[in-house]
Structure 1
Amino acid sequence: MKDCELTKISVEGYKKAQLKFWSKDDWMMKTNLFFSGSDNVKNFVYMGLSLESESKKNEDFDDKVYSVYEYTEVGKALIKFREYIEPTEEFIKEIKDGIKSGNPKKEFRKIMKEYGQFIPTEIILGGRVYFKGVNPGAIISVRESKKIMRTIGGKHLGGKTFNEKYWMESLNDYQNWDIIELKNPIIIFKLLPEDMYKKIISSLGKRILHKRQRDYSWNPGMTNIYDFIDELLLKIVHKKDADWDIFATVINVHDSKDVFFNCQILKSGKTKPSTLIHCIQKDFQLREYSLMIVYVVIGYDTDFKYIYSNKNKVELRKFVYDTENCEFDSIPLQRELVSMIRDGNPFIGIPILNSLNPSNESLVIGHNFRKTSNNEFKIDLFSYCTKTHRYVNLPKFTFYTLVILNNDVNNPPFEFIKWGNPFINYKYSWNIPCASLYLINGDNYSPIFLNQSRKQFNIGYVDCKCNKTCFICNYKTKRISNTDQISCTIINNWW
């Protein structure tokens, strides 16, 4: 640190109040001298906050958490030094080596253990004294409550009686000041040049940052768009280095027959992200449907909140589709399907639109993962219009494939009955699973839609009113039977 800015604190630095701990996180913040519940501080609490707090993880917090302390505080000076902190050459070298290593996360954990996880950019110097033994709701005299105490800064005469006048006068000597509050902390990696900081988060890879479930009522006769407006998602969206994406699925809550739902993401730099929800009905019904939307946000962990977690690392593949006059097409999967299944890496896909207009607002973009008879790994793409009830040319969009690493996965086979479409039952719980269908050695199959209700995944087919004039109705006509190798990769637990 080259320099600092020191501002003396006058009479407003004197405080008498109560310090309350309402949770373990609250206790961790305040005992580490953070009294502001900013996002940065909360993230450090999530990571463990300090070696002192880490060492106390297994202690009994009953006597500390949900307790109240009386305190007297005298702030004497505020020191700011954010603009004057520079990383050492040794620190920079270790960062560069960590970026180049085969396991950056492991190396950065070592660096944080050696140098610390964060650094405050402002501190308040002075003194504070705590009077312990006050419990919420307890009837206790002030005299009794001050039997046990802790002091930070200043001089104390000792004994059972606290002499406030003597303690306060001792603070007139700056040599008796101590740190009584830490403010505006930043992760240590933020001290580095911006380009190096970006290399760090890029080397750690993307991961699942957020998951949420929301109820939604689908209404006929209108374009059904759900705007993602939850606070945490929008915070991620506004982080310039997060490079975020969203995956979503819709669940038919009432298990309605002869109807299924499909969604695609609308992502534009000018508006909030949202999802476009389509309803496909065999026979049109003028009614409202209750749905549940499950969505996850993928991106870089710019706050290093999950650096101590080995779960939910992901790979994201993007394919920009701009071919014209094509009702059905196949794009490369860019990963080996069989190995993903064997290694327990679940995967899902979703189309992303960057704009909504009359030419695409009624188009359902479907997809199927498959391994061909020639041992190629493909994603079949097709488009169905809910207004004309027929297959139509694919619009321009980007197809995203998400592969989740180190996650529990279930690959159950479909069950077949004589009358009805193939299905997979699952146990309904608050943690709604997501699924992706795949075919092994499959060619010339009719496009398959995967429909999800509260307790079941089932296969859906659409009726095309083209009078056998479209490519799909002439060349993609096979339907799934119990002799086919078809299954689902089901994600039961995103976290």
Structure 2
Amino acid sequence: MNFANLNFRKFFNIDIFVQIGDPPSQLPKKFTLNRNDNLSNIREILEKENVMSDTLLFAQKNNGLLAEIRRNGEEDCKLYNILNDNILYLVNNSNPDWKFLNKLRKLDYGRTITFNGIKISKKRAFEMKGCKVTELGAEKSKNGNDEFKSEEEWMMKTNLFFTSDINVENLVKLRITVEKSRNKTFKLETNSSYRYKEFGKASLEFSECLEPTKEFIDAVNNAIQTGDAEDFKQIIEEYGQFIPIEVILGGRAYYEGQNIRKEYSEENSRKDSVNTGAGPLGIKLGNGSIISKGILNSSKHECSKFIGGKCNENFDEKAWAKSLEDFRHWDCIEFKNPISIFQPLPEDLRKKIILSLGKRIHYSIIENAECKFEELGEPFKYELRIPSPISNIIRNKDTDCNFFATVIDAEDNTFNCQMLCPPKAKPILLIHCIQEKVKQQKCKLKIGWMVIGYYKDLNFILSDFDETQLNIIKKDLTATSNTHYREFLDFEYNSISNIVPCIGIPVLKTLDLSKISHVIGHRFFNVQEENKIGSYTFSYCLKDHNCVELPEFTFYTLIISNYYDRKAYGISPCKRGNGKRIKDIVSFARSTQLKPKYVSLILTAENNYGPIFLRQKAKKVEYIHVRCDQNSCICKMTETKENLKYSFFDPTQDNED
């Protein structure tokens, strides 16, 4: 701005008095302002002087009455248009201002469920750029009685969730699990109730109006690069588990809690500051509170509290209800539609998070089946009964789901599993019994199968966020004249740690009836000098007892880098048995219960062993070299067993009694 223009602007500068209300609610303040400035500029100047806020509007005085100037009209209105004897009037905004409410209640901050109520995060993950405000009116005012019929219901209502959905249920279950892990005999008796009075004043929805902060994006990108679940846990610690995309604001008062009883068996230190609600009945464990091997009781006269509103030391319901006519006194009285703190991120960033965290088990089950192997090499075809919700997940290409299966019975039988997945048809498990001659006996099978894939969104992090690292490598193989195939997997493990467990399964698209007695076996081996893992697949004819040409198939390798239950996976060495060629026996399970585990043979080094199959029993796993009637077959090669091991994975073992 040049000197002439500056002098021209100063020509319109005048001294005015800024007054809030008429009569004024406080002493007027004197400012020098440009009478030709529009009200938007005047607002900026007064905001810097801490005189103006989003809760105040400009007003024009006519015939002794003050008329509000709407915010959307400030750009086109000049200061001189509304001055009255050099007085600039301001009035309280009678309509809810979402910017003020957002700043006051930190609505665009993440939150975490706790035993004492919602905890607001330390750091801000998003900036709210807009909001849909719906005033609720008298229809949202109500009196009622509420009961706690379960631990889940207690936790849900303590954290101001009164409408349940899958995300709310996951959050609640997670918090209860955490409490029980901290307190060995944590117990909440649920025979309790309370009376409440509620004034729901407005609903704020902002699902499409959240813009991630630069700090949050930087933290997420760093966690993606490391691929370490601990980094994502740290993000949740700092930015919260979730953000609700709808909040009910107003006031809520509680009366007469009955028979609230909580039992603890060990020290329970609470260091988190709880910002909104200490539980429906005000039972609050403050900073650093400790309850040790005791019982916390509260009677119906001890627990009255209110959320939102304004009241003197002695609660006056009428005065409290009157104060809620001013939106400045509203507080959060209900949260709706919580989503993962990562869900509002851009789609490309969400996909990177999902990929970096690896796959998860969507479904795992053990089923019983009876069958009879009447023809040598004839498989038992078991059609997987997939629940409808899991089918929907599988059909979503982004989840990239895979099947794995295992079989065991109470008899001394050896089984081989192959998946048959024809296009646009239900998957079938092909189960072959490895035997020299058909026994024609009925088998009572225990069949375990699971579906592993990526999550289609990030709301799983609300509950299923642990150290699990499951990766699957896919290898498409065309039909070949070779009887075996060997390759190095595109995966490196840390040389400091031991080789990671691997589980494999072959998948066919079509079934050649002329080769129905052919089975595909596999094993893995350690490439020590390169910290890599190799896979070895072979084809064997059960009817002719010799290795045959490999068909067209896809081989999937499940690599278990980490799992939340460290006892559920691992690698064990095989021990030489009683000198017999057929068996080398190794102790396997911790339970006498007949339950199949996922197992694959793994060698400490690459060797030219012939075809080997694993036989699984209730308490041990055996490996067998199969007979071959072909002199030139690979199974005539070395049979040294000194470096044989096996991988195991038992994702259901933590459910054992």
TM-score range (shorter-chain normalised) is 0.7 to 0.9
- Alpha-carbon distance in structure 2 between the residues aligned to 1:339 and 1:485: 18
Q: Kindly state the Cα deviation for residue 249 of structure 1 after the two structures are TM-superposed.
A: 1.5
- Alpha-carbon distance in structure 2 between the residues aligned to 1:105 and 1:372: 27
Deviates more, 1:79-88 or 1:273-282: 273-282
Tell me whether 1:488 sits opposite 2:488 in the alignment: no
- Alpha-carbon distance in structure 2 between the residues aligned to 1:17 and 1:480: 77
Spell out, residue by residue over 1:79-135, the C-alpha distance to the aligned partner (whole angstroms, 9 max, x if none): 2211222223443344334434x3554443343333322211111223333334324
- The residue type equivalent to 1:426 in the other structure is F
Tell me whether 1:413 sits opposite 2:574 in the alignment: yes
Please say if residues 412 and 489 of structure 1, whose CA atoms lie closer than 8 Å, have aligned partners that are also in contact. no
Q: Counterpart in 1 of 2:403?
A: 246
- Alpha-carbon distance in structure 2 between the residues aligned to 1:444 and 1:97: 44
- The residue type equivalent to 1:190 in the other structure is Q
- The residue type equivalent to 1:280 in the other structure is I
Secondary structure class of the residue paired with 1:457: strand
Q: Counterpart in 2 of 1:284?
A: 438
TM-aligned CA distance change 1:274 to 1:454, over 3 Å: same
Tell me whether 1:265 sits opposite 2:419 in the alignment: yes
Tell me whether 1:293 sits opposite 2:447 in the alignment: yes
Q: How does 1:42-441 map to 2 (within 5 A)?
A: 42-45=169-172, 48=175, 62=187, 67-100=192-225, 102=226, 105-135=229-259, 145=300, 148-154=303-309, 168=321, 171-207=324-360, 211-220=364-373, 223-227=380-384, 229=386, 233-234=390-391, 236-237=393-394, 241-252=398-409, 254=410, 256-257=411-412, 259-267=413-421, 270=424, 275-300=429-454, 302=458, 303-305=460-462, 309-310=466-467, 312-334=468-490, 343=498, 345-356=500-511, 358=513, 363-370=518-525, 378-385=534-541, 391-406=547-562, 407=566, 409-419=570-580, 420-429=582-591, 433-440=597-604
Secondary structure class of the residue paired with 1:304: helix
Secondary structure class of the residue paired with 1:83: coil
Please say if residues 381 and 428 of structure 2, whose CA atoms lie closer than 8 Å, have aligned partners that are also in contact. no
- Alpha-carbon distance in structure 1 between the residues aligned to 2:639 and 2:326: 86
Please say if residues 524 and 536 of structure 2, whose CA atoms lie closer than 8 Å, have aligned partners that are also in contact. yes
Identity over aligned residues, as a percent? Answer: 36
Spell out, residue by residue over 1:240-297, the C-alpha distance to the aligned partner (whole angstroms, 9 max, x if none): 5433333222122x1x23x321212345674565533223333324443222233444
Please say if residues 600 and 646 of structure 2, whose CA atoms lie closer than 8 Å, have aligned partners that are also in contact. yes
Spell out, residue by residue over 1:220-250, the C-alpha distance to the aligned partner (whole angstroms, 9 max, x if none): 4674224152577557536654333332221
- Alpha-carbon distance in structure 1 between the residues aligned to 2:254 and 2:423: 51
Q: Kindly state the Cα deviation for residue 182 of structure 1 after the two structures are TM-superposed.
A: 0.8
Please say if residues 368 and 447 of structure 1, whose CA atoms lie closer than 8 Å, have aligned partners that are also in contact. no
Q: Counterpart in 1 of 2:9?
A: none
Secondary structure class of the residue paired with 2:155: helix
Q: TM-score, normalised by structure 1?
A: 0.78
Please say if residues 308 and 324 of structure 2, whose CA atoms lie closer than 8 Å, have aligned partners that are also in contact. yes
Tell me whether 1:18 sits opposite 2:146 in the alignment: yes
Please say if residues 105 and 307 of structure 1, whose CA atoms lie closer than 8 Å, have aligned partners that are also in contact. no
Deviates more, 1:381-390 or 1:69-78: 381-390
Q: How does 1:454-465 map to 2 (within 5 A)?
A: 454-462=618-626
Please say if residues 373 and 442 of structure 1, whose CA atoms lie closer than 8 Å, have aligned partners that are also in contact. no
Deviates more, 1:371-380 or 1:267-276: 371-380
Q: Kindly state the Cα deviation for residue 48 of structure 1 after the two structures are TM-superposed.
A: 4.8
Structure 1: tracts of 5 or more residues without a match: 138-143
- The residue type equivalent to 1:416 in the other structure is G
Q: Kindly state the Cα deviation for residue 42 of structure 1 after the two structures are TM-superposed.
A: 3.4
- Alpha-carbon distance in structure 2 between the residues aligned to 1:205 and 1:212: 21
Match of 1:476 among 634, 637, 641: 634
The total of aligned residue pairs comes to 471
TM-aligned CA distance change 1:62 to 1:73, over 3 Å: farther
Please say if residues 422 and 459 of structure 1, whose CA atoms lie closer than 8 Å, have aligned partners that are also in contact. yes
- The residue type equivalent to 2:146 in the other structure is Q
Please say if residues 499 and 526 of structure 2, whose CA atoms lie closer than 8 Å, have aligned partners that are also in contact. no
- The residue type equivalent to 1:243 in the other structure is D
TM-aligned CA distance change 1:12 to 1:285, over 3 Å: farther
Secondary structure class of the residue paired with 1:34: coil
Q: Kindly state the Cα deviation for residue 447 of structure 1 after the two structures are TM-superposed.
A: 0.8
Please say if residues 451 and 459 of structure 1, whose CA atoms lie closer than 8 Å, have aligned partners that are also in contact. yes
Q: Kindly state the Cα deviation for residue 444 of structure 1 after the two structures are TM-superposed.
A: 4.5
Please say if residues 337 and 371 of structure 1, whose CA atoms lie closer than 8 Å, have aligned partners that are also in contact. no
- Alpha-carbon distance in structure 2 between the residues aligned to 1:63 and 1:483: 55
- Alpha-carbon distance in structure 1 between the residues aligned to 2:165 and 2:182: 22
Q: Counterpart in 1 of 2:131?
A: 4
Secondary structure class of the residue paired with 2:536: strand
Q: Kindly state the Cα deviation for residue 149 of structure 1 after the two structures are TM-superposed.
A: 1.8
- Alpha-carbon distance in structure 2 between the residues aligned to 1:309 and 1:84: 30
Spell out, residue by residue over 1:411-457, the C-alpha distance to the aligned partner (whole angstroms, 9 max, x if none): 23233224552222334525754432234566443311111121221
- Alpha-carbon distance in structure 2 between the residues aligned to 1:381 and 1:59: 47
Q: TM-score, normalised by structure 2?
A: 0.61
- Alpha-carbon distance in structure 2 between the residues aligned to 1:42 and 1:360: 49
TM-aligned CA distance change 1:333 to 1:151, over 3 Å: same
Please say if residues 258 and 300 of structure 2, whose CA atoms lie closer than 8 Å, have aligned partners that are also in contact. yes
- Alpha-carbon distance in structure 1 between the residues aligned to 2:194 and 2:368: 43
- The residue type equivalent to 2:306 in the other structure is T
Tell me whether 1:29 sits opposite 2:156 in the alignment: yes
- The residue type equivalent to 2:203 in the other structure is L
- The residue type equivalent to 1:383 in the other structure is S
Q: Counterpart in 2 of 1:140?
A: none
TM-aligned CA distance change 1:44 to 1:372, over 3 Å: closer
- Alpha-carbon distance in structure 2 between the residues aligned to 1:274 and 1:36: 40
Please say if residues 242 and 462 of structure 2, whose CA atoms lie closer than 8 Å, have aligned partners that are also in contact. no
